Amino acid sequence: PCAGPVESKNEAAMSELVPEPRQKPVVPMKPMGINANLLGYIGIDTIIEQMRKKTMKTGFDFNIMVVGQSGLGKSTLVNTLFKSQVSRKSSGWNREEKIPKTVEIKAIGHVIEEGGVKMKLTVIDTPGFGDQINNENCWEPIEKYINEQYEKFLKEEVNIARKKRIPDTRVHCCLYFISPTGHSLRPLDLEFMKHLSKVVNIIPVIAKADTMTLEEKTEFKQRVRKELEVNGIEFYPQKEFDEDLEDKTENDKIRQESMPFAVVGSDKEYQVNGKRVLGRKTPWGIIEVENLTHCEFALLRDFVIRTHLQDLKEVTHNIHYETYRAKRLNDNGGLPPMAVETEENNESNL
């Protein structure tokens, strides 16, 4: 009989301690029955057209680097990719002559125009990679060149009176040419991609794929993919940069089926079934460069130019360049790396 009042006292004390549940904020209802058409035409749909006109005026930049052993057809492939003599072009060179051998890292710029769209294309040709007797650290000059372009952009960016449009010489894409041995990647290939994948977008390419049978090609592609995965080498498009499910689905297909692209390059034309096609003449027929049953050149071109060119540029700016920039500013105590350059300029002026 005495337990009743004690329990009621305890319950009263507990109710004082427990806070009252907060009421959810009232969400205002969406206005109903307002039809934008009744208020007239605003013109939001012209924003895309405004952006198009603006970019058409300024044009586009794209910088592509080719790396690999001598004789793998790097320059020929880039010429085929852009349907123009854009690699190592000189006033006296024509299609019938042999392309001269690259002896130093050289950037060659061209303006390509198609359908009123101008693109400043820069091809960075590298010396035969891994041709020397001692190939220890032979990727260092290439890595140095890539970082120099980031440094150049950074110095322009931190200037007080900087240019309205900073010239972009940063390497947006590196085509790495793999020799069509049919066996496995060389330790040198793995070392290069391991070092350089941290600073640039690498797209592996199997060169001169016509030297392998279809079965050998399929097997070699699978082996290369496996070796890259085992060695933890990230090639473009990197998994962690997929922005949404649509990107992931599309890029997974490229990573699991297309990479590395097995390609054949040629800037010579032949007559096939009444049509002029780019191809290579062999004793058993003509290998058509743009025919998907012959090689994957068309897939590579679509990937680099028609679907992922803008993304290559964005990953370069937002990931690789930002990583370099953060490191440089951090090493410099958070200050722009301008002091040394200013002193050098003052000394030269004196």
Helices 140-157/187-196 angle, 10° precision:
10
Over the chain, what is the mean pLDDT?
79
264, amino acid identity: V
**Strands, E assignment, the chain:** 60-67, 106-114, 117-125, 173-178, 202-206, 261-262, 269-272, 275-282, 285-288
Between strands 202-206 and 173-178, the pairing is parallel
How confident is the model at residue 315, as a pLDDT? 94
How confident is the model at residue 339, as a pLDDT? 47
pLDDT, one tens digit per residue, over 292-323 is: 888 888 899 899 988 899 999 999 999 999 99
pLDDT, one tens digit per residue, over 140-174 is: 889 999 999 999 999 998 888 888 888 899 999 99
Give the three-class secondary structure for 260.
coil
Q: What is the mean pLDDT of residues 188-210?
A: 90
pLDDT tier at 29, thresholds 50, 70, 90: low
Residue of higher predicted confidence among 116 and 236: 236
How confident is the model at residue 25, as a pLDDT? 53
**Whether the predicted pLDDT of 91 surpasses 70:** no
Q: Which domains does the chain have, with CATH numbers?
A: 61-90+97-259+296-332 (3.40.50.300)
CB 101 within 8 A of CB 123: no
Q: What is the mean pLDDT of residues 323-349?
A: 66
Cβ neighbours of residue 25 closer than 8 Å, sequence gap 6 or more? none
Distance CA 123, CA 114 (A): 18
pLDDT tier at 90, thresholds 50, 70, 90: very low
Residue of higher predicted confidence among 205 and 54: 205
How confident is the model at residue 172, as a pLDDT? 96
**Whether the predicted pLDDT of 179 surpasses 50:** yes
pLDDT tier at 10, thresholds 50, 70, 90: low
What are the angstrom distances between the C-alpha of 16 and each of 7, 11, 20, 39?
14, 9, 9, 55
Task: Please report, rounded to a whole number, the percentage of residues in the chain having pLDDT higher than 70.
Answer: 76
Instruction: Mark residue 73 as left, alpha or beta (left: phi above 0; alpha: psi -120 to 50; beta: remaining).
Output: left
Dihedral sign, Cα of residue 205, residue 285, residue 298, residue 109? positive
pLDDT, one tens digit per residue, over 212-222 is: 888 888 899 99
pLDDT, one tens digit per residue, over 41-74 is: 778 888 998 988 888 888 889 999 999 888 888 8
**Whether the predicted pLDDT of 234 surpasses 80:** yes
Burial (0-12, 13-18, 19+ Cβ within 10 Å), 78? buried
pTM of this prediction?
A: 0.76
CB 203 within 8 A of CB 312: no
pLDDT, one tens digit per residue, over 182-192 is: 788 888 889 88
How confident is the model at residue 99, as a pLDDT? 46
